[in-house]
Amino acid sequence: MRQPWPVRDQPPNCPHHTPERSMSGSSSGSCDTQSGFTLLEVMIAMSILAIVLVAAYQSQSQSIAMSTNARFITTASLLAQGKMVEIESQTPANMISSDGDFGEYFPGWHWKVEIADSGGRYMKKVVLTITDEPMGTNNTYRVILYRMVPR
């Protein structure tokens, strides 16, 4: 009894093998008996994965830094606005340099007011500095106001 495929051709579990192709002697596909990835393919895949992960990590890190900075600027500007309203509501005689904090609602946030002559006869320079101590770096927001003071 003759086998449907010659022994030198591909084994029957090869997807390119059909008994008709074996008898005609034509084989359009090739199948290896070994399968898997070479070391080079694995190394290339790992290097591509490493590059993508580093880029994703840098993007995430930058996003967190930008979010922290935006939160600081928003909070500091609102606190400065409230403090400036307090300063503007004072009479010119009561305007003195001082400092303090914003209480229990904003722990770690401090303010400092410096009042100086601006060089003009009827002007005072008011410098308000808001600081977020826990933030560490880039934690200062400064507002400068020139106020008319009648003499």
Averaged in consecutive runs of 10 residues, what is the pLDDT profile of the chain (151 residues)?
55 57 53 78 96 94 92 95 91 85 93 88 90 87 88 67
Q: What is the pLDDT of residue 134?
A: 85
Number of domains in the chain: 1
Is 137 domain-assigned?
yes
| pTM recorded for the entire structure | 0.63
Range of the domain at 121: 39-148
Residue 43 lies in a domain: yes
Q: What pLDDT is recorded for position 91? A: 82
pLDDT value, residue 60: 94
Q: 127 lies in a domain? A: yes
Q: Which residues of 63-87 are buried (b: 16+ CB within 10 A; e: fewer)?
A: eeeeeeeeebeebbeebbeebbeeb
Spatial neighbors of 117 by CB under 8 A, at least 6 apart, are 123, 124, 125
Terminal Cα distance for the chain, rounded:
124
CATH number for the domain spanning 58: value is 3.30.1300
- Asked if the structure places residue 133 within a domain, the reply is yes
Q: What is the pLDDT of residue 24?
A: 52
Q: Quick check: is 22 in a domain? A: no
Closest CA to 46 of 38, 35, 57, 36: 38
Q: Is residue 23 part of a domain?
A: no
pLDDT for the residue 93: 73
Query: What per-residue confidence (pLDDT) applies to 55?
Result: 93
1 domain residue, yes or no: no
Does the residue 24 lie in any domain? no
